[in-house]
Amino acid sequence: MKVTTWNVNGIRAREAQLLEWVQKEQPDVLCLQEVKASPEDVPEALCNLEGYFCLWHGHKGYSGVGLHLRKAFFKRRPAFAHPPFDMETRIVTAEIQGVVLASIYVPNGKKDFPAKQRFLEAIDAWVTELHAQGKRLILCGDLNVARTEKDVHPRLRKPAEIGQTPEEQAMLEKILSHGLVDLGRKFDPDNDQLFTWWAPWRNMRERNMGWRLDYVLASEPLVQMAKSCVASREFGSSDHGPVTAVFDPDPIHVEGEVEQETEPPKVEEKAEAKPEEPKQLSLLDE
């Protein structure tokens, strides 16, 4: 099973690149963040992405996530959901055979740090609860926290800056301590250039001067099936690069034939009421 997570920083701007990625890589699970579009505004070619069960969860111009599952692998449409702590269309989940998949976009926190704290604390409680129920998790997305000093380029390290403060790093470590493994670090533990976000100026991406903010986290029982986890700095024009993990053997097995859809609607779930538009976007949201 191949899992890709990517903060696209505007789905409409990345339409051609996302189609290129899907055609080339054919991920079984595709998690997107910062889509910046309500479901009805997602480009037609992506809205019902051929060969995928799709869920778009967003609103105009800010935040938003997507979760797309390849029909050839999952066979049946899963039940998509949003945990109670969802805010600003930041998380969508699907559960298949006791495995919970999630696309997550943690708030940046520069304009409302307490909201970011609450969101991370809610993820921690949610992970603990699901593991207590015997669920296995694959959590993907832009967590907007550089896990350690090593996850920020030396010239950009500022422990007082939101996104790399000891307090946030402690929150992320607490989440991981409840039975999750950071696959990026598992497969490349000593790499101090393993970045996934670069400021869009001064050729920061070309110079690989960035932060590691995008993760694939997996429950410990699934880790023995994980074979790789790589970040693709060279692909796309978003300020984030895709991160892809591969599991073998498949951590999910669903019996039965692919369910055929007839005349699929433009979106698979009605757009939800739009939350209040933020007054301004923070640096990383841009």
Can you tell me the distance from the alpha carbon of 178 to that of 181, in angstroms, rounded to the nearest whole number?
A: 9
93: left (phi over 0), alpha (psi -120 to 50) or beta: beta
**HSE (CB half, 13 Å, CA atoms) of 23?**
8
CA distance 166 to 188: 22
Q: Are 116 and 106 a contacting pair, CB within 8 Å?
A: yes
Burial class (CB in 10 A: 0-12, 13-18, 19+), 260: exposed
Say if CB 104 and CB 65 are below 8 A apart: yes
Residue 256: CB atoms within 10 A of its CB come to 7
Which residues are CB-neighbours of 96 under 8 A, at least 6 positions away?
Answer: 69, 74, 78, 252, 254
CB crowding 69-95: b at 16 or more within 10 Å, else e: bbbebbbebbebebbeebebbbbbbbb
Is the CB of residue 35 less than 8 Å from the CB of residue 61?
A: no
Catalytic residue among 41, 86, 142, 285: 142
3-state secondary structure of 283: coil
> Is 248 designated active site?
no
Q: Which sequence positions are flagged as catalytic? A: 142
